[in-house]
């Protein structure tokens, strides 16, 4: 009689494992909102249309971001106004966020780095702030103090 339970165990164990994975997946995703790592869509300030997808990554505690895909008709745009090594390089694939780190004092704030605006070639000090449970990212570029700048809101894609 004990041999009849073994075939059942072959089906129950994988089913339980699959159920645990399905239940754990939302919990794993729910942990992501404390980090800006992922794919973000930025919106053009003037047209209010999606402009680009930016992939934010983190390595050794340092956050960077590059333009993964341009969503306008200007897919072949180059940074002709850049004044550094990015001058005349394609904007798609370009790293525009560099040197940002998690702020030790304020949860959800990342700062200390720079952001490039490929439209004017200028590099600004920058800070990132997660809002709405990590679904949106406020990206602030400024000169001097954060008070003197502007903020864009990026939307999490993944």
Nearest 5 degrees, angle CA 37-CA 59-CA 137? 25
Side-chain-side CA neighbours of 60 within 13 Å: the count stands at 2
How would you write the pLDDT of the chain (158 residues) with one tens digit per residue? Answer: 555 554 544 544 444 444 444 444 443 344 456 899 999 999 988 899 999 999 999 999 999 999 999 999 999 999 999 999 999 999 999 999 999 999 999 999 999 999 999 999 999 999 999 999 999 999 999 998 888 899 999 999 98
**Residue 7 φ/ψ, nearest 5 degrees:** -60, -35
78: DSSP letter:
B
Q: What is the Cα–Cα distance from 72 to 43, expressed in whole angstroms?
A: 11
pLDDT of residue 146: 84
Q: What is the pLDDT of residue 3?
A: 52
H/E run at residue 17: helix 5-30
Helix (H) / strand (E) containing 43:
strand 38-43
Q: What is the pLDDT of residue 29?
A: 41
Q: pTM for the complete prediction?
A: 0.76
pLDDT at 5: 55
Domain 33-156 adopts which CATH fold? Lipocalin (2.40.128)
Tokens 């895909």 correspond to: 69
């Amino acid at each position: 009689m004990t041999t009849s339970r073994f075939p059942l165990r072959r089906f129950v164990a994988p089913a339980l494992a699959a159920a645990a994975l399905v239940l754990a997946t939302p919990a794993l995703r729910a942990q992501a909102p404390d980090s800006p790592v992922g794919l973000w869509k930025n919106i053009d300030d003037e047209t209010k249309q999606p402009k680009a997808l930016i992939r934010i990554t983190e390595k050794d505690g340092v956050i960077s971001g590059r333009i993964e895909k341009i969503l306008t008709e200007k897919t072949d745009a180059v940074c002709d106004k850049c004044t550094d090594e990015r001058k005349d390089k394609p904007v798609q694939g370009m790293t525009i966020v560099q040197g940002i780190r998690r702020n030790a004092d304020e949860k959800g704030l990342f700062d200390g780095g720079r952001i490039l605006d490929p439209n004017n070639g200028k590099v600004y000090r920058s800070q990132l702030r997660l809002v709405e449970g990590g679904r949106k990212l406020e990206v602030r570029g400024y000169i001097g103090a954060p008070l003197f700048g502007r903020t864009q809101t990026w939307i999490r894609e993944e």
